[in-house]
Copies of this chain bind each other. A is one copy, B any other.
Amino acid sequence: MAFQYNRLDKDDVALLMVDHQSGLLSLVRDFSPDDFKNNVLALADIAKFFDIPTILTTSFEDGPNGPMVPELKETFPDAPYFPRPGQINCWDNEDFVKAVKATGKKQLLIAGVVTDVCVTFPALSALEEGYEVFVVTDASGTFNPVTRDTAWRRMEQGGAQLMNWFAVGCELHRDWRNDIEGFGGILAKHLPHYANLMQSFTAQKG
């Protein structure tokens, strides 16, 4: 049976940002704080750039888990937003699932904190419902690399595709000519070493 390349399609994908809350973020130790912050915001900028329907959710945000990071709220001021009253798997929240279905998309990008719970659970639930699931590995964080590896394997076993934010952006963009300035601007902002290349290039161009 032939393999089918389920390629990200900017017209058929939605993004789920799960539990990027100030308290929970302090638990993330499989990335440096600078790297992780950059990865999460890069993914958000990509979603906004491609105008991808985005759904936000939090868990117990009035308790120690804390509020969603303000940058996400600012990037997606009009996104559906579900502060869950108790469900750990956001897919157990009916309103959230309704919002996902309302997007009418077949592909789901999922990122969250912590990877082994807030990402893995909805990823497996969505796979069961027939969605194509793409987990953004470097915009999802957890306690340590052993836990991360455990979670990745479970999602992979269920059929999820693993992608990093840069690959997500490139697979959505497809062709630089679609908007060189716009996409290049995101890279310059979130890939410091790519920004260096651009700066050298510009300087030498004169």
Known: A64-B200, A174-B87. A161 touches B154 (CB 8 A): yes
Does chain B have a CB within 8 A of A95?
Answer: no
Q: How far is the CA of A195 from the CA of B38 in the complex (A)?
A: 14
Q: Contacts A2-B128, A128-B5, A153-B162 given; indicate if A200 touches B200 (C-beta within 8 A).
A: yes
- Does A200 contact B23, Cβ atoms closer than 8 Å? yes
A83 at the interface (CB under 8 A from B): no
The 8 Å CB contact of A87, one of B88, B164, B171, B175, is: B175
A residues contacting B by CB (< 8 A) are 2-5, 7, 22-23, 25-27, 29, 31-38, 59-61, 63-67, 69-70, 85-89, 92, 114, 116-117, 120-121, 124-125, 127-128, 130, 137-138, 143-144, 146-147, 150-154, 156-159, 161-164, 166-167, 170-171, 173-178, 191-201, 203-205
Q: A5-B125, A22-B197 are in contact. List 12 more A-B contacts (CB 8 A).
A: A3-B124, A22-B199, A25-B193, A34-B34, A35-B35, A66-B200, A69-B196, A69-B199, A88-B176, A121-B170, A147-B166, A150-B162
Q: Which 10 residue pairs spanning A and B have beta carbons closest together?
A: A86-B177, A64-B197, A66-B200, A22-B199, A64-B201, A33-B192, A37-B192, A22-B196, A26-B26, A86-B176
